[in-house]
Amino acid sequence: MEGVTIIKDETHNKRYVQIDMELLEDNESVEDLIDVLIIHMRKDEETYTLEEVEEALRKSGKL
């Protein structure tokens, strides 16, 4: 795909994707893809309810 390069490490494993944003017509799709990747990476992180966040902010004096 023009504008997309897959970079391999010294053991020839695919490691990185380089995207030339100027060559792509639809930058929003790339941004959506990045959002999905971030969501996937964070899927096992601890989550907090809105109430828990508000309480923590109140206790710290930030709310």
pLDDT confidence of residue 28: 86
Q: What is the number of structural domains in the chain? A: 1
Residue 50, C-beta contacts closer than 8 angstroms, at least 6 positions apart:
none
> What residues make up the domain containing 48?
4-59
Report pTM: 0.52
Model pLDDT, residue 43: 95
Show pLDDT as tens, one digit a residue, over the chain (63 residues). 788 899 999 999 999 999 888 887 788 888 898 899 999 999 999 999 999 999 999 999 999
CA torsion, points 53, 54, 58, 59, in degrees to nearest 10?
Answer: -30
Is the Cβ–Cβ distance between 36 and 29 less than 8 Å? Answer: no
